[in-house]
Structure 1
Amino acid sequence: MKQLLDFLPLIIFFAVYKFADIYTATGALIAATAVQLVVTYLLYKHIEKMHLITFAMVTVFGALTLFFHDDAFIKWKVTIVYGLFAVGLAVSQLMGKPALKSMLGKEIQVKDTIWAHVTWYWVAFFIICGVVNIYVAFSLPLETWVNFKVFGLTALTLINTVLTVVYLFKHMEKPPEETQP
């Protein structure tokens, strides 16, 4: 349920874009993201920082897109969000408090060097996705960018999540074995 809720604004954005235009889709994205926050809070009594950041960025860049009737703002939102995630992960790692370890460290026990590898991998991933988004958004047709945003970036994120989980499980610390009497 939670994963569907995470993707719902993106699905609504895509569907509305296909039946209307980028501006109507942007308005629907803002509304769907707001509804996502409310429903998440009602169901789980908690809203993750990532969702708040995404909502703030969608609202600001979506409003600019609608106000100036310029789709460049909503296109930049993707890169800026990825940039913020990359900076957040990098700063948390440099401060010795890796964000990924804070989120997953209770369930997955690995050495700090492994958490560092995973963190820097995701920093690089977010930077690369941000740069590729700029290229696709401003060099290719709008239709291509929408498809890339919805399907390409989502697929890349899911693939990288699976790769990360496999890597972490491969390096999980084994619990000490009890000796038999």
Structure 2
Amino acid sequence: MSETGKGWKTALELGPILAFFVGYLLLRDRSFILGGTEYSGFILITAAFVPVLALSTLLLWRITGTLSRMQVVTLVLVVVFGGLTVWFNDERFFKMKPTLIYLIFGAILGIGLLRGRSFLRMVMGEVVPLDEEGWMKLTRRFCLFFFALAALNEVVWRTMSTDAWVNFKTFGLTAAIFLFFMLQGRLFREHGPSQD
């Protein structure tokens, strides 16, 4: 993929999340009456986020020619839980979405581990060159990490304000994933391709 293609890929992956955050900041203290029903700014931003994410996923597929299973599952859950959020006018559905995404990913990896396979390798094998032992270790770590993120999301949305949850979702989860990858440096060195 060209540098331009990589730039578009990054923009399409991060753009909808940043747009949600900016939209939330602009509308969080407002409410709107549509069809006789009052909706908070959070609900309206969620309603806008669903088609924006669907469009960005479609464009990502057009540019790269492929979508990972994680991207497809994420899109389906955003459509379902975003739709429930708007339909029932209840922001809790959208706040639960990350929990379910991480539980599903953790469970899928866990099932693979029980079968002696690294499903993570199927998704990331072309990007991260590791030997078999390295893939199994990384998969175990990812499995536990996803379950920890699911639990953390539950704690944050149930005990903190919507502002705190939006900040956590936009920046906290992204920082946690970045930090997790940084902490895997030793594993990548020990189980990556040998250097002459």
Quick one: structure 1 residues 147 and 108, their matched pair in 2 at CA, closer, same or farther if it must change by over 3 Å? closer
Which stretch of structure 1 is more off in the superposition, 120-129 or 155-164?
155-164
Compute the TM-score of the two structures, normalised by the length of structure 2.
0.82
* Displacement after TM superposition at 1:108 (Å): 4.4
Q: How many residues align?
A: 176
Q: Deviations over 1:57-94 (max 9, x none)?
A: 00000010001111110011010000011011111222
Is 1:128 the counterpart of 2:144? The answer is: no
Tell me the distance in 2 between the aligned counterparts of 1:136 and 1:164.
Answer: 26
Aligned equivalent of 1:3: 10
What SS class does the counterpart of residue 95 from structure 2 fall into?
helix
- Mapping 1:8-87, distance limit 5 Å: 8-20=15-27, 21-87=41-107
Tell me the distance in 2 between the aligned counterparts of 1:40 and 1:107.
Answer: 17
Compute the TM-score of the two structures, normalised by the length of structure 1.
0.89
Tell me the distance in 2 between the aligned counterparts of 1:126 and 1:54.
Answer: 14
Quick one: structure 1 residues 110 and 46, their matched pair in 2 at CA, closer, same or farther if it must change by over 3 Å? closer
Q: Deviations over 1:112-131 (max 9, x none)?
A: 22211111111111111111
What SS class does the counterpart of residue 168 from structure 1 fall into?
helix
Which amino acid in structure 1 is aligned with residue 90 of structure 2?
D
Aligned equivalent of 1:174: 194
Is 1:110 the counterpart of 2:130? The answer is: yes
Is 1:162 the counterpart of 2:182? The answer is: yes
Q: Which has the higher strand share?
A: 2
Quick one: structure 1 residues 103 and 47, their matched pair in 2 at CA, closer, same or farther if it must change by over 3 Å? closer
Unaligned 5+ segments in structure 2 are 1-6, 28-40
What SS class does the counterpart of residue 192 from structure 2 fall into?
coil
CA RMSD, 1 decimal: 1.8
* Displacement after TM superposition at 1:3 (Å): 2.2
Tell me the distance in 2 between the aligned counterparts of 1:89 and 1:156.
Answer: 19
What SS class does the counterpart of residue 128 from structure 1 fall into?
helix
- Mapping 1:95-106, distance limit 5 Å: 95-106=115-126
Which stretch of structure 1 is more off in the superposition, 158-167 or 63-72?
158-167
The answer to whether the 8 A contact 2:12-2:57 is kept is: no
Tell me the distance in 2 between the aligned counterparts of 1:133 and 1:52.
Answer: 21
* Displacement after TM superposition at 1:111 (Å): 3.3
Which amino acid in structure 2 is aligned with residue 127 of structure 1?
F
Q: Write out the 4+ residue segments of structure 1 that deviate beyond 3 Å after TM superposition.
A: 103-111
Which stretch of structure 1 is more off in the superposition, 154-163 or 135-144?
154-163
* Displacement after TM superposition at 1:107 (Å): 5.2
* Displacement after TM superposition at 1:101 (Å): 2.0
